Structure formats: structure tokens, C-alpha cells
Amino acid sequence: MNVAEKESVQKVEGGSIVTPKGFKAGGMHTGLRYEKKDFGVMYSETPAQSAAVYTKSHFQAPPLKVTQESIAASGILQAVVVNSAIANACTGEQGLKDAYKTRELIAQRFGLPEEYVAVASTGVIGECLPMAIMEKGCREIAVHKDYNSAKSFQQAILTTDTVEKTSCVKMQIDGKNVTIGGAAKGSGMIHPNMGTMLGFITTDANISSPVLQSALKKAIGTTFNQITVDGETSTNDMVIVMANGAAENKPLNENHPEWVLFQEGLTLLCEDLAKQIARDGEGATKLVEVRVKGANSPEEANIIAKKIVGSNLVKTAIYGADPNWGRIVGAMGHSEATLQPQGCDICIGEELVFSRGTPQVFNEQSVSDYMKQEEHVVIHVSLQEGSGQGKAWGCDLTYDYVKINASYRT
């Protein structure tokens, strides 16, 4: 269900990471990139309970290790610093020193304990950060609570992205207005496995770090972890959330009568950002959504959905507006989920193309026109294994994806 359709959780049009009470942000151009903004900070006026999820790549970048250390110290953050252009990944001991130095400089800039600062980087792998430029950014960055400052942060975190990605939702808990804001980046090298992709979330909810960690992990499982652009998991994937309690609601946990409301709000925000990433896949022209029902479990429904949306053959068929349902069957056929062909129905849009193991007569031109004309193509899969439901999102695969990645460093 769309965020705007829910009565209890409402989308905040024009909202951002600075919409929740007590948060500021900023972005600037330092020289890491030729012209575009490349350095940003997200800041809470008071210490915030925090949580994060990270890539499961064996080559986790130094910024992730520093951030993990910061959150492990007390569960509290007050600032997140992020740079684009250079990922500071696979950079050895020097990369770790540079990440620690960046944390130290931002802590000094805002008068914070070092462990209250998280670090994130995105960009080219295998290059060390030019620390003279990073130091300039740490000295000069300014944060404010206004639309333009949030926008500057959103721009500063982008790499091959073509659009900024932001979302904001609100709800009432204990009679208080609770707001969740988010920004994300990601366009290529997207196949999160936790959680190149970064997500930054702020909320003024009153919630402890361990409870927030549980809520974030649950939200990630059906949102960011259910998108794919090219099947590639980055060294730097991370989603981080800060909760400063400024809304003054009673402490949230699973025993709170309105806990489900907060979990829904966080999940809907993550889903909105995840879909924006999928739609902005490198060279993409379509957002592709796969909806599965009747699976053995929600987990198996998610496996099937992501298998379909991640298939290069399905992705190229959608780009070519070819209603070749055989490619969908092919992708499902080697998933790790339980399914029986004779209990399977497949629709492209609203057109039934395969049912109970048998091809269906359908208007190919009509389905092709749907695939050409719609920017959001939906594939429905219905099974008869159980009551499990799941979704996944991706994009089509175009010539431009090859062009962008063939010359990424040049």
C-alpha cells in the first residue's frame, strides 16, 4: 500500500532528513569531484540513539568499520559524515587511518566525542582519500535546518545517480507527532545483502538503540534487501538511522500499544527509498516490480520475487517490451524456493500469460504496449504452496548500463 494511502502513516510532501525535530544537514563541493557537491554531514542537536546495517561483503570498507565501532561504543551518534567520488575501500591500513581521521575532524568541528560520529564513503574502489581535501570539508561544512541544506546533503552523496532520493513520513504516537525522514543514494552496483548503496534515516522518536536496531533490521529485510539493479553487492553498503527523542513520546518497544505504527512508518519510508533506487538504476527506463503470493512462506515469496527481478533475461525482455513469460519461468525455476509448475499463474500487468503449468492465449501486442508505455511494470506471480507474500523491485537492463560501467573510472 502506498504511504499516502495509509490513514495512520502519512507521507510528508517536501519532507527530508531535517524534517524530524532537532536535525540539521549540509552539503558542499570540496574538490573530490570536478563540480558537483561531494561532502555532506547529517547532524542531531542532541545525542541520538542509533542503529545501522552493513554490507556482508568480505571486503567491508574502512568507513563501515569505524562506524560499527562508534555505534558499538554507546549506541549513540550525533553526526554522520559522508563523501562521494572515492569509496575508501580496499585501501589497507591507510584507508582505516583516513576514516578515523575524518571522524576525529568532524568531532572537533562540532565539539563531539569521537565515538558520536559515523563515517560513510561512496565512489571508486581502491583509491585513498585526498586528506587535504577531506580536512577542508570537515573545517568548512555548515549544517542548517532548511530545505536547501537537506537538498545539498542529498546531492553530495550521489555518484552515478541521476536524481536525488528522499522521503519522509509522520504519525501520531502517544498523542505526539513523530516524524521519520530519509535520504539515499544508489544507481549501480545494487544488490544489497545486509543492507554502490547508502541510506540515512532520522527520526525524532523516543526509542533505544537495541530496539531501533531490531526495527531497522526488520524493515530492511522487505525493502532495501529486496531491490536489485545488477546483482552486484558493494563494499560500502550501509543504512544508518538516528533517533533523538525530540518528539517526547513514551519509549517505544514491542510492548508499546503503538509499536506497530512506528514499524510500519519505518518500513514504508525504507520501501519508498528502495524503489527510488531501483527506478534510478544505471541506464534504466523502467521500474520493475514483482509481486508474489501463495508461496510457502514470506521468505520464499521474497526469494522468488527477487530472483525474477534480478534476471538479466527478464530485465532485457522488459527493456525490449517483449512479453516473453518463459524468461520469468526460467528465473523461478532455479530459485531456492518450493513451487510446483501446475500451481503457478503469471500475469504481466493485468494479462494472464501462464496458468497452472500451461501457456495462455493472450494479446501480445497489448502486453507489449503496456511494457512500452508504463514506467512502472508489474509482474504478478500466484502460487498454491501457502499464504506467503513478497515483493521485489528492480529495473530494465539497457545499452546505457554497459556504457556507464564501461567508462566508470574514465
Q: Would you please indicate which residues are annotated as catalytic (active-site) residues?
A: 196
Measured in Å, how far apart are the chain's first and last C-alpha atoms? 42
223: three-class secondary structure by DSSP = coil
Residues 6+ apart with CB under 8 A from 85: 32, 33, 38, 123, 124, 159
Determine the residue type at 182: G
Relative to beta strand 238-243, strand 197-203 is: parallel
Give helix 325-333 / helix 312-319 axis angle, nearest 10°: 170
State the Cα angle at 200 between 408 and 141, rounded to 5°. 80
For residues 327 and 348, the answer to whether their CB atoms sit within 8 Å is: no
Quick one: which of 158, 392, 133 has its CA closest to 282? Answer: 158
For residues 198 and 120, the answer to whether their CB atoms sit within 8 Å is: yes
81: three-class secondary structure by DSSP = strand
Burial 102-123 (b: 16+ CB within 10 A, else e): bbebbbebbebebbbbbbbbbb
CA distance 349 to 336: 25
